[in-house]
Structure 1
Amino acid sequence: MLFNSIEFLFFLPVVFLIYWFVLKNSVKAQNIFILAASYLFYGWWDWRFVFLLMLSTFIDYYFGLVIHNSQSRKKFFLWLSIFNNLIILCFFKYYNFFADSAGVLLSSMGFKVHPYILDIALPVGISFYTFHGISYVIDIYRGNTIPTKNFVNYAAFVCFFPLLVAGPIERATHLLPQIETNRIFSYEKAVDGLRQMLWGFFKKVVVADNCAIYVNQIFDNYETLPATTLLIGGIYFAFQIYCDFSGYSDIALGCARLFGFELLRNFAYPYFSRDIAEFWRRWHISLTTWFRDYLYIPLGGSRGSVFIVIRNTFIIFIVSGFWHGANWTFIAWGFLNALYFLPLMLRGSNRKNVDLIAKGRTLPTLRELTQMLATFALSVFAWIFFRASSIAEALIYLKRIFTTSWLSAPKYTGIEILLPLLIASMLVIEWLNREKQHALQDISGPLFKHKFFRWSYYCILAWLIIWVGAQQQNFIYFQF
């Protein structure tokens, strides 16, 4: 089920009313109901994969108990659990990639092979719920948490419908205690959740989906378009993927708050970053910190020789790229970001910009503005590899940007004036509210003190969602 669908428009209020008004006196009943609603939400896409989700959930629940109770074979059961998770993930997500790559390699060596390719759909959200399970058993092994003996509670943690298909990637240490304790309805939190959902829908439906129309046209016809248009296509995709994914995260966090849960923040205005290191502290935060805690630090992190630092930096970014999809383009995207990040790491300046940009000021300095634009340009360059269907396509796309005429008028530039204005308005609102958790967290200022003006603003956003909204499109990160 999509957040931006008619079905969800009916699903959410029904679940909300039953959860708070029928089951409010029993946290056990609430958790059972949330789990059932989550399975319905997930099964709406393809009910057959609900059983795969149940299997994955049970495996990690079982191994969590075994690891906790084992005295001498904890590491064995930990690796067995991780292996089971990775086998499921690799089979559905990466089998065809490895089979096809092996076939190409063997063919180049003179062997005639015809690899068997599976004709199956990729289960939505498999990378997200697999990582939930892996972090759970690792945290138990490390002694950071103890396993729950209540399967419903654990399953609700893994399958909670707002985060199930595209994150954020939660930790059991953060969400499971919230599931196990009584929740009390908070009007203030619910209103704040609705505001964050409204902003998420605006970014997704109004900005991202309209960018997608022109991004698709440009990338489908890149061999015949001038450099100006190709550059616009790269910029539009940068805003498409940001507004699509951060919009989903805003909807997920706001929706969870309606039910009394606080999820991990996933985006912190990454395009206001002054270098790539700051960008990665602000982009897909739950995944970045997951790889840091469960892969980068165990490998040695930034400790040790220069070789160790370089090795770990490339491992973390390339694995992050491969997590996104079974295509060499994602690996190239990760490799590029490692190249961007490495000089900062080697100079020890990767944590230079940890404070809020232009803190206490309305406008950035010229130096800060230049740093933001340079960081954004680097990210756009890398996003072209992310969006392209192949390495060859990305290289030709970039070559045409730097070699074709810049005097030709751009084509497919969007809703000529409206789309750039929508992007600009989104950036202005987020810039003015960059100190807050989300752009509509606290509508303040002389104008919005009056309820009439606040509600007028909400109505304008809702009207734009309905009027400017493009045709219903999947969230980009569903494919991961």
Structure 2
Amino acid sequence: MLFNSIDFAVFLPIVFILYWFVTNTNLKLQNLLIVAASYLFYGWWDWRFLSLILFSTLVDYSIGRQLMSEDNQGKRKLYLWTSILINLGFLGFFKYYNFFQESFVDAFSFFGTKINASSLDIVLPVGISFYTFQTLSYTIDVYKRKLEPTTDFIAFSAFVSFFPQLVAGPIERATHLLPQFYKKRTFDYTKAVDGMRQILWGLFKKIVIADNCAQYANQIFNNSESYSGSTLVLGAIFFTFQIYGDFSGYSDIAIGTSRLFGFDLMKNFSFPYFSRNIGEFWRRWHISLNTWFRDYLYIPLGGSRGGTSMKIRNTFIIFIVSGFWHGANWTFIVWGALNAAYFLPLMLTNNNRNHLDTVAKGKILPSFNELFMMLTTFGLTVFAWIFFRADNLGHAFQYISDIFKHPGSFLLLSIYLKYQTVLILLTVFLLIEWLGREGEFAIAELGLRWSRPLRFIFYNVIIVCIYFFSGSEQEFIYFQF
């Protein structure tokens, strides 16, 4: 079920009414309703994959119970690795089987040996990368004794399948989200209104920004040999805003929807395109995944505590694994390695923790130096996104080569007239994001500064823009991951 669909527009009010007016006197009934609604929400795509979520839930719930009663460290490790292997085994099979099989055949073909192997027609379950990592966080935290294992199967099932963030995050930690299912929730009008604002902004990002940018990004990337270098650069920029509007828009809707039901999810994006270096960018982009890899992979590997060689190794591991998490294609691995190369100089010079504050805080405009750093970081990010978007490595390198072979001119008015609507929308979007960058999300920060009549006009203008400037409907990009 898509957030930007009529189905969800009907589904959400029904669940909301049942949640607050029918089951509100009984916590277990509320949690059971969440489980039922979540399974309906997910099964709307393909009911067959509900068995995977249920199986993952049963495995990690049972292993958590075993870890609670087991003191023998060897057996505890066995339980932990059972959870890891089962969860990653399912993820690996559905997401990476064909990739490894094809890479294996290609490797032998390179050395002159032909191997006949057929690919399987495997359908990737929506959101498997997200809920797999979510359940793993529970088992790992229980193993480390950071979290008491639950004895409430319904609450745990609700945590695993919680519909607002089930298929594309944020990837919640068990230590943060699971305890919220133990507590009685009371309706909070202020939180609900704030949630509606965030849903509205998420819809604007997705329907107006991402879907309009997608139309041109797809057109340019799919026919890249037909365009000048300047248009190819615009295509990469369109994709840059497509993926941000698409993914952060989903996260905003998920967080806002959760607030309607009395839950708080972690912030997943924090104005990443205003970053002053790559280190800051990765603290602001897909925060839930990046902190997951930091805590459950980077730090256990030794983090930045060892010598230079260990720091370099761990940096490349974390970025390449992050790239591979996004998809079974060498383009994602190169994208991850490229970002590691961007990040490495900052880490080796101990500048990766610079710029922890908001850029130009308390000011209308950035300084010249801040503007230069933001544009440089943005340019590096746009270049890396070419690999992320390309169909394969050959396409990516050809796309980059064509930018320089046939540069064209950025001064041609005809280019901007062709894309004038989306460029104007992007300008308005960036202005709103910039003015609201010191808040949790842009329109709340802006709206709360203004009087009620002005705020009313502002929100209605956004609604009108969603209605009149919606792009052709596109599936959320991160559903494929």
Bin of the TM-score, shorter chain as denominator length = over 0.9
Q: Which amino acid counterpart does residue 459 of structure 1 have in structure 2? A: N
Q: Does the 8 Å CA contact 1:225/1:411 hold for their aligned counterparts? A: no
Normalised to the residue count of structure 1, the TM-score between the two structures is 0.97
SS at match of 2:458: helix
Instruction: Map Cα deviations across residues 287-325 of structure 1 (whole Å, 9 max, x no partner).
Output: 000000000000000011100000000000000000000
Normalised to the residue count of structure 2, the TM-score between the two structures is 0.97
Whether 1:71 and 2:71 are equivalent positions in the alignment is: yes
Deviation, structure 1 residue 453: 2.5
- Which of residues 370, 387, 390 in structure 2 aligns to 1:388? 390
In structure 1, the residue matched to 2:170 is 168
Deviation, structure 1 residue 62: 1.0
Instruction: Map Cα deviations across residues 49-94 of structure 1 (whole Å, 9 max, x no partner).
Output: 1111111111111111112221211111101110111100000000
Q: Does the 8 Å CA contact 1:157/1:179 hold for their aligned counterparts? A: yes
Alignment CA distance shift 1:116-1:69 (3 Å): farther
Q: Which amino acid counterpart does residue 312 of structure 1 have in structure 2? A: N
Once the two structures are overlaid, the 10-residue window that deviates more, 67-76 or 139-148, is 67-76
Deviation, structure 1 residue 114: 2.1
Q: Which amino acid counterpart does residue 104 of structure 1 have in structure 2? A: D
Deviation, structure 1 residue 445: 7.2
SS at match of 2:103: helix
Counterparts of 1:283-322 in structure 2, within 5 Å, are 283-322=285-324
Q: Which amino acid counterpart does residue 431 of structure 1 have in structure 2? A: W
Once the two structures are overlaid, the 10-residue window that deviates more, 237-246 or 401-410, is 401-410
Whether 1:216 and 2:213 are equivalent positions in the alignment is: no
Once the two structures are overlaid, the 10-residue window that deviates more, 470-479 or 260-269, is 470-479
Alpha-carbon distance in 1 for matches of 2:417, 2:207: 15
SS at match of 1:122: coil
Q: Does the 8 Å CA contact 1:214/1:414 hold for their aligned counterparts? A: no
Alpha-carbon distance in 2 for matches of 1:414, 1:165: 37
Alpha-carbon distance in 1 for matches of 2:56, 2:136: 10
Alpha-carbon distance in 1 for matches of 2:419, 2:142: 54
Q: Which amino acid counterpart does residue 97 of structure 1 have in structure 2? A: F
In structure 2, the residue matched to 1:418 is 421
Deviation, structure 1 residue 268: 0.4
In structure 2, the residue matched to 1:5 is 5
Deviation, structure 1 residue 352: 1.3
Aligned-residue Cα RMSD (Å) equals: 1.4
Instruction: Map Cα deviations across residues 169-224 of structure 1 (whole Å, 9 max, x no partner).
Output: 00111011111100010000000000000000000000000000000000011112
Q: Which amino acid counterpart does residue 241 of structure 1 have in structure 2? A: I
Q: Which amino acid counterpart does residue 470 of structure 2 have in structure 1? A: G
Alpha-carbon distance in 2 for matches of 1:430, 1:456: 18
SS at match of 1:434: coil
Alpha-carbon distance in 1 for matches of 2:414, 2:100: 38
Instruction: Map Cα deviations across residues 221-258 of structure 1 (whole Å, 9 max, x no partner).
Output: 11121001100000110000001000000000000000
Deviation, structure 1 residue 413: 5.9
Number of residue pairs the alignment of both structures matches: 478
5+ residue gaps, structure 1: none
Deviation, structure 1 residue 456: 2.0
Q: Which amino acid counterpart does residue 245 of structure 2 have in structure 1? A: C
Q: Which amino acid counterpart does residue 355 of structure 1 have in structure 2? A: D
Counterparts of 1:328-367 in structure 2, within 5 Å, are 328-367=330-369
Alpha-carbon distance in 1 for matches of 2:393, 2:414: 24
Alignment CA distance shift 1:445-1:319 (3 Å): closer
Q: Does the 8 Å CA contact 2:137/2:173 hold for their aligned counterparts? A: yes
In structure 1, the residue matched to 2:148 is 146
Q: Does the 8 Å CA contact 2:438/2:445 hold for their aligned counterparts? A: no
Alignment CA distance shift 1:126-1:400 (3 Å): same
Deviation, structure 1 residue 444: 4.4
% identical equivalent positions: 57
Q: Which consecutive aligned stretches of 4+ in structure 1 deviate over 3 angstroms post-superposition?
A: 407-415, 442-446
Instruction: Map Cα deviations across residues 264-297 of structure 1 (whole Å, 9 max, x no partner).
Output: 1000000010000000000000000000000000
Q: Does the 8 Å CA contact 2:435/2:446 hold for their aligned counterparts? A: no
Deviation, structure 1 residue 416: 2.8
